[in-house]
Structure 1
Amino acid sequence: MNSFMEDISIVIVSLRKKLALLFSVFFVLFMVSFQFAGLIISTIKDDLLPEGAKLVYVSPLEIMLLKMKIALFVGLFCLLPFLLYFAVKTLLKRKLVTLKIRKGPVAIVSFFALLSFLVGASYAYFIMLPLFIDYLYLNAAASGVTATYSIFSFISFAVQATLIFGLVFETPLILTLLTRYDIVQYKTLVTYRKHIYVVCLIVGAVITPPDIISQMMVGVPLVVFFELSLVIVKIMGAGKGKKK
């Protein structure tokens, strides 16, 4: 009994230290991001706001809250590698998973993860968002409506869409790793393919504004990248990364 209580105490102390470290890292990332939030806002405004449209703020604290939201998103995103590191380290230490992890493959996976995110974010920011926002603007203009956007809603949507598509482009890499280490079976993904389609569309509806176009612009790429992941997994094979 005493030994069990000692183990619990050690786990709690270790968890407390890790949480304190993660919070400290997040606080630093948040503060740094907050300093550049104004630059991010002005850049998005110059790049994505259609000519003739206007941005307005509807509450005194809207700009401050927008900067805090941007800093929160950027801080949480930059914190993800630290969370992943501690999670994998804990699983291996507690022997909850048995994986043979080497520095070489980790570096390669990290490179492709970063590359996938940058490609996805670039696709959203430079291709999808300009087309989508211009379409909505022209549609409103054709109806005789003057486009006046809330700066909080407009910038928040652009930032969220950019980060979300960056993560969506990680899907093939994530599923490939999960199947190669036998954490998820390829047959399971194929069997529940239709269910995953529904989940993708639900995710698209939850994380986008309440209109069918934006929902489909997130949900459909999720489905496409899921199918691309299945092709990649089938070509590369499953279970080859598991420790023998």
Structure 2
Amino acid sequence: MADKDLTIIEHIDEVRKRLMVIVVFFIVGAIGSFFLAKPLINFIQYDTPAEQITLNAFNVIDPVVIYLKVIVFLAIVIISPVIMYQFWAFISPGLHELERKVTLSYIPFAFLLFIVGISFSYFVLLPYVMKFMINLSGQLNIEQTIGINEYFSFLFSLLLPFGFVFQLPIVILFLSRLGVLQPKVLVKIRKVAYFVLFVIAAFITPPDIVSHLFTSVPLFILYEISIVISRLGYRKFEKSERLRQMEEIKAEQQRQIDEVMNKTDDK
């Protein structure tokens, strides 16, 4: 019982250390983001998605709030590789040496997919969303007065989820490489997964069929790519397992030979 309690305490201490590293890097990232926030805010205000609207401040502190939101967003993006590495470092002691090396190599690709997801939602999806909202307001004779705080909140609520959703292939590859997830399971639950992705797309897009399909189709493609990646990852897992079992058999045979030799020497 004491050993178990000690293990739990050690795990908690390890989590605390990893979180402290993330916090330190977040502070450093936030300091760096302070100088990048203003150019990004100006770019977003005058870029295509917002060029047809006027952004207003409804509160005296809105400029400060926007500045802080952008700093936090940039800091998260900048230190996302650090967050991924700390997560890997926490679970890596439970992996074999080969698994540690392989899964560590996933981090750059995970970061790349995170950026691709954010870029897709901003440069591809957001213009369609804004166009739909503006057209709908015109059809309903509604004069929009959009707050800059609300616009940026809406923007980040769209960008970050897509950044995380685009991690799906890496997560699937990671689990398959460890043997936790088999590709046949992904094939079996494909219909359910499509339905879930369709619902997710419904929550983050306007209720028109074009925008919905524009979001759903890339998510479906991501899922199909994940199945292919899962097959590759699981094959490598099976190969490494066979090699490990062969090494164990050889080690056991060598141990038995050594025992026989020792007994012979004793005689």
Bucket of the pairwise TM-score, normalised by the shorter protein: 0.7 to 0.9
Match among 134, 138, 151 for residue 137 of structure 1:
134
Q: Is the 8 A contact 2:26 2:75 kept in 1?
A: yes
The within-5 A match list for 1:35-184 is 35-93=35-93, 95=94, 97-98=95-96, 100-101=98-99, 106-107=104-105, 109-184=106-181
The aligned residue for residue 234 of structure 2 is 238
Unaligned runs of 5+ in 2: 242-267
Higher helix share: 2
What residue identity is the alignment partner of 2:24? S
What residue identity is the alignment partner of 2:207? I
Structural RMSD (CA): 3.2
Count, aligned residues: 238
Under a length normalisation based on structure 2, what TM-score does the superposition of the two structures give? 0.71
The aligned residue for residue 199 of structure 1 is 196
Q: Distance in 2 between matches of 1:98 and 1:166?
A: 29
Rg: which structure is higher? 2
Residue by residue over 1:118-168, the C-alpha shift from the partner in whole angstroms, topping out at 9 and shown as x without a partner, is: 333333222222233123223323444333312122223233323333333
Q: Is the 8 A contact 2:172 2:229 kept in 1?
A: no
Q: Distance in 2 between matches of 1:77 and 1:150?
A: 24
Under a length normalisation based on structure 1, what TM-score does the superposition of the two structures give? 0.77
1:23 Cα offset (Å):
1.6
Q: Distance in 1 between matches of 2:9 and 2:140?
A: 66
1:100 Cα offset (Å):
1.6
Runs of 4+ more than 6 Å apart: none
Q: Distance in 2 between matches of 1:57 and 1:64?
A: 11
Q: Is the 8 A contact 2:14 2:90 kept in 1?
A: no
Q: Is the 8 A contact 2:37 2:67 kept in 1?
A: yes
The within-5 A match list for 1:9-20 is 10-20=10-20
Check 1:137–1:78 CA distance in 2 against 1; reply closer, same or farther (3 A cut): same
Are positions 1:190 and 2:187 aligned together?
yes
Q: Distance in 2 between matches of 1:64 and 1:37?
A: 11
1:117 Cα offset (Å):
3.2
Q: Secondary structure at the match of 1:184?
A: coil
Higher relative contact order, chain-length normalized (CA < 8 Å, sep 6+): 1
Q: Distance in 2 between matches of 1:112 and 1:47?
A: 28
